[in-house]
Amino acid sequence: MTNGMPALPEGFRLHRYETIGSTNDEARRLAREGAPEGTLVWADAQEAGRGRRGRPWLSPLGNLYLSLVLRPDAPASRAPQLGFVTALALADALRLLAGTGLALSFKWPNDVLAGRAKLAGILLESEMAAGGGLDFVIVGVGVNLTSAPRDLEYPAASLSDQGFPGITPASLLESFTEHFALWLECWRAEGFVPVRAAWLNRAGGIGEAVRVRLETLTLEGRFLDLDQDGALVIETGGDRRRIAAGEVFPALG
């Protein structure tokens, strides 16, 4: 850390803002203009932050908001696996800064939990090249350090709520990029197998009853596994079902 600015690994290029509409939107603009992999947009606050399915993501001062440009040489079908890479890097960074007293787990597909509450969310957005291949992936990350939104369908928490105040956005950004570089290299060199195994080792709710909200219906079942591509596997009605996209909640009752 130099003058309050994070020291980033080689290959990362930081674009710093006090306030921005959306870090993902700015990262996409830069990517469309040819920004290389490792371009990172970091803001103290967002005025138009968003989560999955376009939901607003409240973005007050004190938390971490970043978006990273990636240009993976991989089929578009593998892009969602980068959410699991990101979750692992975040968990490693948080453990390094907060210690083992912070109880972290993962919720499929792209959340990091503290206890049973959402501490961090990950948003992946990608675009295809003119020739049909994957052009770039934007990895957006929001981490509740000092505050968390209230009255949500799925409860949220902050590090301060959990008894870990004092971790700054800059220090977490520095640690996150270090761990992300390692997990990204692992994914590129060894594929999804070690990433999947590490994610499942910290996954919350394996074997428990869950509700999975899809576009047109909600399923109830038991969380069994993550398949070789990163899809959720549940048992429902006596059958195993693979779910590529949806939202997971605890079962009612």
* Domains and their CATH numbers in the chain: 13-202 (3.30.930.10), 209-250 (2.30.30.100)
| pLDDT value of position 196 | 97
Is a pLDDT exceeding 90 seen at residue 249? no
Cα separations in angstroms, 250 against 69, 112, 207, 223: 33, 15, 12, 10
| pLDDT value of position 181 | 98
| pLDDT value of position 224 | 94
Looking at 14-18, 48-52, 132-136, which range is the least confident one? 48-52
Cα separations in angstroms, 238 against 94, 241, 252: 38, 10, 19
pLDDT by residue (tens digit) across 154-204?
A: 889 999 989 998 899 999 999 999 999 999 999 999 999 999 999 999 998
Distance between CA atoms of residues 22 and 50, nearest Å: 7
What tokens appear for 166 in the block?
């004092």
Is a pLDDT exceeding 70 seen at residue 76? yes
pLDDT by residue (tens digit) across 87-141?
A: 999 999 999 999 888 999 999 999 999 988 999 999 999 999 887 789 999 999 9
Cα separations in angstroms, 56 against 152, 171, 225: 12, 26, 30
CA-wise closest residue to 59 among 96, 24, 11: 24
3-state secondary structure of 165: coil
Distance between CA atoms of residues 51 and 160, nearest Å: 22
Distance between CA atoms of residues 93 and 95, nearest Å: 5
pLDDT by residue (tens digit) across 143-157?
A: 999 998 887 778 899
| pLDDT value of position 54 | 53
Q: Is the four-CA dihedral 28, 33, 37, 40 of positive or negative sign?
A: negative
| pLDDT value of position 15 | 97
| pLDDT value of position 111 | 95
pLDDT category of residue 237 using cuts at 50, 70 and 90? confident
Q: Side chain identity at 125, as an amino acid letter?
A: E
| pLDDT value of position 150 | 83
111 contacts 199 by C-beta, under 8 angstroms? no
Largest CA distance in the chain: 58
pLDDT category of residue 5 using cuts at 50, 70 and 90? confident
Mean predicted confidence (pLDDT) in 235-251: 88
Q: Where are the alpha helices (DSSP H) in 74-162?
A: 81-98
| pLDDT value of position 53 | 53
pTM here is: 0.93
Rounded to the nearest 10 degrees, how much is the dihedral formed by the CA atoms of 148, 149, 153, 154? -10
| pLDDT value of position 4 | 67
68 contacts 138 by C-beta, under 8 angstroms? yes
Distance between CA atoms of residues 239 and 248, nearest Å: 18
Higher pLDDT, 131 or 37: 37
